[in-house]
Chains A and B, each alone.
Chain A
Amino acid sequence: MIFDASEYHVQLRVISQPQYLCVIRSAINVIGGKCGLSSTETDHVVLAVDEALTNVIRHGYNDAPDKSIDISIRPLNEAAGQGIEIVLDDECENVQVDQIQKRDLSELRPGGLGIHILYRIMDDVQYDQRPDMPGIRLTMRKFHKEPAD
């Protein structure tokens, strides 16, 4: 998938400090509706993005407070319907794509829920090594679905 920054309507850069997670949540909360998502779908996407950012801060950057994460957002209007695409670019040097795995929920334990939540909420989730520099690119898509009768 070729990333063309000019296609993205909103671009944000956040420093790797958890105190700013609420800022990104607020932004996604507003943008979700503009991309045709229902309020429940938007709530879920907010959670998915929050989980993805937390994983970067916690596991990718080992809680270092001075790293950056770029967030690019665009509406989707495709055969699959209206929706939202969110791309997170980090600069983690110690994580490989094949290390990122969701865990089995049958075991009750505190950690590892974030990736599972992300996959459950989003319709498409794709992790790639960034081609131009060290780091991971996470591309997530969520499409609006009419509620079943």
Chain B
Amino acid sequence: MSQTPQISGLPNGVLVAISGDIDYSCSSQLRTVIRDELDKKPQLMIIDLAGVPYMDSSGVAVLVEALQAQTKGKRKLAVCNLQEKVRGIFEIARLDMVFKIYNSVDEAKEA
């Protein structure tokens, strides 16, 4: 990641905006940030990937953990603004049917 994820409050949850490549060099840092937000039990967590040109499976694993935590607590997680390469790994890992993927933050807010 090129910088720490930006956290913004939503009326019913939290928006996490990430920027930069996500690989094994930074996925544990991302995991820490997202777990801190999950601990607050937001009804909706939106992860905005507009600033992420590349993600490997260590980044995907962080998102899967977040989805599992939210689902277990009967809360929602949405991801949005996937760039082409990031959408590619979701498809290769067959996760595009598992996550709720939106084209914009505004669409995701309606999740």
Given A25-B54, A43-B85, does the pair A113, B23 have CB atoms closer than 8 Å? no
Q: Which residue of A lies closest to B64 (CB)?
A: A110
When distances are taken between beta carbons in the complex, the residues of chain B under 8 Å from A108 are 64, 67-68, 98
A111 located at the interface, meaning its Cβ lies under 8 Å from any Cβ of chain B in the complex: yes
- Whether, in the assembled complex, A18 has its beta carbon less than 8 Å from a beta carbon of chain B, the answer is yes
Question: Which residues of A sit under 8 angstroms from B57, Cβ to Cβ?
Answer: 51, 54, 113-114, 117
Residue ID in chain A nearest B57 by CB atoms: A113
Beta-carbon contacts under 8 Å, A92-122 to B: 105, 108-111, 113-114, 116-117, 120-121
Report how many residues on chain B are interfacial, defined by Cβ distance under 8 Å: 23
Contact of A43 among B58, B62, B68, B88 (CB under 8 A): B88
Contacts of B23 in A (CB 8 A): 18, 21-22, 50, 54
Q: Could you tell me if B93 and A18 are in contact, using CB atoms closer than 8 angstroms? A: no
Q: How far is the CA of A105 from the CA of B67 in the complex (A)?
A: 16
CB-based contact B61/A111 at 8 Å: yes
Write the nearest CB–CB distance from B87 to chain A, whole angstroms.
Answer: 11
Q: Does A74 interact with chain B (Cβ within 8 Å)?
A: no
Q: A58-B24, A116-B93, A117-B92 are in contact. Are A109 and B56 (CB under 8 A)?
A: no
Chain B interface helix/strand/loop/mixed:
helix
Q: How many of A's residues come within 8 Å of B, CB to CB? A: 26
B74 sits at the interface (CB 8 A): no
B92 to A21, Cβ gap below 8 A? no
Asked if A47 is an interface residue, CB under 8 A from chain B, the answer is: yes
8 Å CB contacts to B: which residues of A1-59?
A: 17-19, 21-22, 25, 40, 43-44, 47, 50-51, 54, 57-58
Contact of A47 among B68, B89, B94 (CB under 8 A): B89
Using a CB–CB distance below 8 Å, which chain B residues touch chain A? 21, 23-25, 54, 56-58, 60-62, 64-65, 67-68, 84-85, 88-89, 92-94, 98
Beyond the given A17-B25, A47-B56, please list 11 additional residue pairs across the A-B interface where CB-CB is below 8 A. Answer: A18-B23, A18-B24, A18-B25, A22-B21, A22-B25, A44-B88, A47-B89, A54-B24, A54-B57, A109-B64, A113-B61
28 contacts between A and B (CB under 8 A): A18-B24, A19-B25, A21-B25, A22-B23, A22-B25, A25-B54, A43-B84, A43-B88, A44-B92, A47-B85, A47-B89, A51-B56, A54-B23, A54-B24, A54-B56, A105-B93, A108-B68, A110-B61, A110-B64, A110-B65, A110-B68, A111-B61, A113-B57, A113-B60, A113-B93, A114-B57, A120-B92, A121-B92
